[in-house]
Chain A
Amino acid sequence: MHEVDMTRALLLAMEGWRQSHKPQVPLVDTVHLQVGAFTCVEPDQLVFTWQAAIQNSWLEGAELAIEPVALLGRCLCCSATYTPEPERGYRSPCCEHPMEEIVQGRELRIRSVDYQLPQPDTATAFLPLSAPRP
Chain B
Amino acid sequence: MPAVAETIETVQSVTESGYKWGFETDIEMEFAPKGLNEDIVRFISAKKNEPAWLLEWRLKAFALWQKMEEPDWAAVSYPKIDYQDAYYYAAPKTKAGPKSLDEVDPELLKTYAKLGIPLKEQAILAGVEGAGETPAEAFPAGGRMPVAVDAVFDSVSVATTFKKTLEAQGIIFCSISEAVQTHPELVREYLGSVVPQADNYFAALNSAVFTDGSFVYIPKGVRCPMELSTYFRINAKSTGQFERTLIIADAGSQVSYLEGCTAPMRDENQLHAAVVELVAMDDATIKYSTVQNWYPGDENGVGGIYNFVTKRGACRGARSKISWTQVETGSAITWKYPSCILQGDDSVGEFYSVAITNNRQQADTGTKMFHIGRNTRSTIVSKGISAGRGQNTYRGLVKISPKATGARNFTQCDSLLIGDQCGAHTVPYIENRCLSAKVEHEATTSRIAEDQLFYCRQRGLNEEEAVGLIVNGFCREVLKELPMEFAVEAQKLLAISLEGSVG
Partners in one complex: no
